[in-house]
Chains A and B, each alone.
Chain A
């Protein structure tokens, strides 16, 4: 452990920390300042670039042996998380201009960064908590409707349950294997010791709860609906990605995925079916994200090295396209107006480019070519089929078909329905346009040159 290693290996985290400190100082010095947003976005971008640099230079190091280590792959994962956060920050509204919102965001991002590089359950737990705690507050920040409080409480209680389950599982694993290292999961799994298996099961349950996989998904629709637009976008992309990347580290080298493939399958089917009946956009996205959590865990069915590639590619396309939809919302950032699917009616007449962007996002999430979501879906099911899980893959594909309808319904509303009489003529904010453009460029690259990204994973 040398100071230099700590400085270099944790550079993205340090930059986030610097941003947090600067924001806190700003909060004391000039609480009404408008510079908070710029500061936070700058910190996130700098941190993302640092992660990208670490990846490109092939740096690997372990500043805290046995607790925290990075390699090129983890740096890329970090870059993904940080890069997804940039459009989220751009989407954040002016009302939140106070520094506290951004402090919470960057704090949560710090936790997200810890997760892919943790080598022990202790660090992982730290990352998970740091990721989640600010989000509980962020959900409440948009306190506009009475049901928000209920949803936030639900999220807090279930999030707390997930944490407790995770700790419980860690304790079991420690009892059975005598180590807190992340590899304890695999060794516990192969040992067949009942205590260790219980621990492993509890940890998987905690991950499923965090990632919103059926039957541990019930919190997601309420939380997504209650939170404001950028926080929902954050939960649907960065939080989900961080949990999945952590799961990728833990479950590596075990056939757990194949044993529990039923739950992701049910998740896909149920998420897709329940989304059909929603009248709220964010609830619909919540069910969509439940289905996508299912796809992501399907990616674990593949053989070892292909998992990382599939999960990363999937998270990148899913994240980018979800954020694109959020950036183009018809209400222009107004939480209540943006929530009703009715508000999407006739959007093409009012804002054609926003409607086209949302349509592209929906078709991509549905997995239709030539959009990038198709390549991601192909990758996931290819891995499952190539690893010999033919039945699961076919069932998963059929379940994914169920999702086509509700995505098309959004397009139907935007292009084929007359606008509701009370539809506002919400205009896109300039920063939202920027966020959309930031998502559109990688989306086009993923769709046209998927091989370029795949070669780098």
Chain B
């Protein structure tokens, strides 16, 4: 089969699975779980194959499909892989089976609907990443809310209704302004043959005038910033993360948050390069504030899920910092950090889910010395903690380090020209690393070491299924940390093009 066909299979396989679920016999939850797992596993295999075949040296889209969808509006069904989305698509497909397998015992209510929604959100996330048409992108982007609304709202914790409504209403507000901006963008630019075009390619080549760009960028950026989330638009995140079931938290941290930073890379910056340059100082400042503020809040939490939730804000601040730094290292580091955070935070949320299944509390004070009670669990937890801290040889190190180098790369010449602000920001970001090590290690110390105590004893250590899931994640984390070269190769060309846009280079070449 051709690559383009395979990519379509990756995208539509979850829908096929979703439609097959109602056909399974009533009450047979095991069949539902196995079918879903098979679907997402097959999807990952195909995605991994496409990832391996992706050639980083070729500019433009690969495995592209382009079909007219709404001809009168210039809307296409157009999907494809490029240097930015190829990693995130693979990450999404990788986390899919882990999420399904991780919920085998955790979800016992409405099993069929739950798995249907997992497949639905997989479909919409992959669609958002693969879309190469603004209309299609928006459809997927907004549709992501529906399964997440149900996942948090039905299978979530005590305050799930509040959390899920807050999540949806927050994100939808950003989207509505983005919708206004995208209609304005498409319908005010020169049309080609009497029909407007929503194709990214076409829109990249026709940036609007500078005055309009700032407004449109602001609308798009607001929507993306809510999703990332960037402080001060982050208040939905702790609630959503804490109340979501494990699967929901993993999807949120693993992929959904990256949609915001991906949006900046794929749309915000290339569609409005002049505005992106104009807003770069503001973006850098907010990114650093997010890093520090998230880290400080993580430091004082007593709910173990909240610690990881706030650490996500901090870690995504690095992504934003790398993107805004406009240096090749920074941009590549940002992409790597997205993948790394997806793996590490996803893994940590899975682990918190596992302990919650055993003890039914997320209060940190209830735990201690788990290293003695749950040796295997503690080993995995410590490995992921070290990756979150950014220890060399883990993926977290590669990403964070490159972002910081990139930030200094940009800040140093500015300092020499007499603008110290950027250097202050870069230095503060380093402070974030220190804070990050502090809250994570302190958390691990209280959680894993000291006098052994847990709300329920005796505790069963990790089963085979759980070990397999975590081993896959840890393996990926170290593989990327030790040898990030293949990933960097695939993203380098795309990163260069973004850099060109941010530095005010030609807008001709596009990812």
Contacts and interface: CB of A to CB of B under 8 A. Distances in A.
Task: Check if A and B associate.
Answer: yes
Interface of A: 348, 352, 363, 368-370, 374, 378, 381-382, 385-386, 390, 393-394, 397-398, 400-401, 404-405, 408, 411-412, 415-416, 450-451, 454-455
Interface of chain A, helix or strand or loop or mixed?
Answer: helix
Contacts of A374: 139, 142
A386 B140 CA distance: 23
Task: Give 4 nearest A-B pairs by CB, closest first.
Answer: A451-B70, A369-B139, A386-B187, A401-B176
A405 B145 CA distance: 13
Contacts of A382: 73, 183, 187
Nearest to A447: B139
Contacts of A398: 176-177
Given A405-B165, A411-B149, A415-B150, A369 B138 contact: yes
A404 B180 contact: no
13 contacts: A368-B142, A368-B143, A381-B183, A385-B183, A385-B184, A390-B184, A393-B183, A397-B176, A401-B176, A404-B168, A405-B169, A412-B153, A415-B154
A406 B71 CA distance: 34
B180 A385 contact: yes
A408 B149 contact: yes
Contacts of A416: 153-154, 160-161
B269 to A, nearest CB: 23
B357 interface: no
B72 A451 contact: yes
A412 B68 CA distance: 36
Interface string B159-201: 0110001001100110011011001100100000000000000
A378 B198 CA distance: 13
Contacts of B183: 378, 381-382, 385-386, 393
A454 B72 contact: yes
Contact of B71 (A363, A390, A393, A451): A451
B180 A381 contact: yes
A394 B70 CA distance: 24
B415 interface: no
B69 interface: yes
Nearest to A386: B187
B70 A454 contact: yes
B113 interface: yes
Contacts of A450: 70
Nearest to A452: B70
B414 interface: no
B422 to A, nearest CB: 34
A412 B165 contact: yes
B41 to A, nearest CB: 25
Interface string B277-297: 000000000000000000000
Given A393-B183, A411-B150, A451-B72, 7 more contacts: A368-B146, A369-B138, A369-B139, A397-B179, A401-B173, A415-B150, A416-B161
B72 A455 contact: yes
The interface centre, meaning the residue of A393, A405, A408, A450 with most chain B CB atoms within 10 A of its CB, is A408
B110 interface: yes
A412 B166 CA distance: 13
Contacts of B69: 451
- How extensive is the interface on chain B, given as a class? 20 to 34
Contacts, number: 80
B142 A348 contact: no
Contacts of B145: 368
B142 A369 contact: yes
A454 B69 CA distance: 12
Contacts of B140: 369
A382 B188 CA distance: 11
A412 B173 contact: no
Contacts of B153: 412, 415-416
A400 B176 contact: yes
Contact of A348 (B71, B73, B113, B187): B113
A103 to B, nearest CB: 41
B184 A412 contact: no
Contacts of A454: 70, 72-73
A361 to B, nearest CB: 13
Contact of A404 (B138, B172, B177): B172
A139 to B, nearest CB: 35
B176 A408 contact: no
Contact of B143 (A348, A369, A401, A408): A369
A389 to B, nearest CB: 11
A368 B138 CA distance: 10
A6 B22 CA distance: 51
A409 to B, nearest CB: 8
Contacts of B154: 415-416
A454 B72 CA distance: 8
B70 A408 contact: no
B161 A412 contact: yes
B179 A370 contact: no
A398 B69 CA distance: 27
A411 B151 CA distance: 12
A401 B179 CA distance: 11
Contacts of B138: 369
A324 B161 CA distance: 26
Contacts of A400: 176
Contacts of B142: 368-369, 374
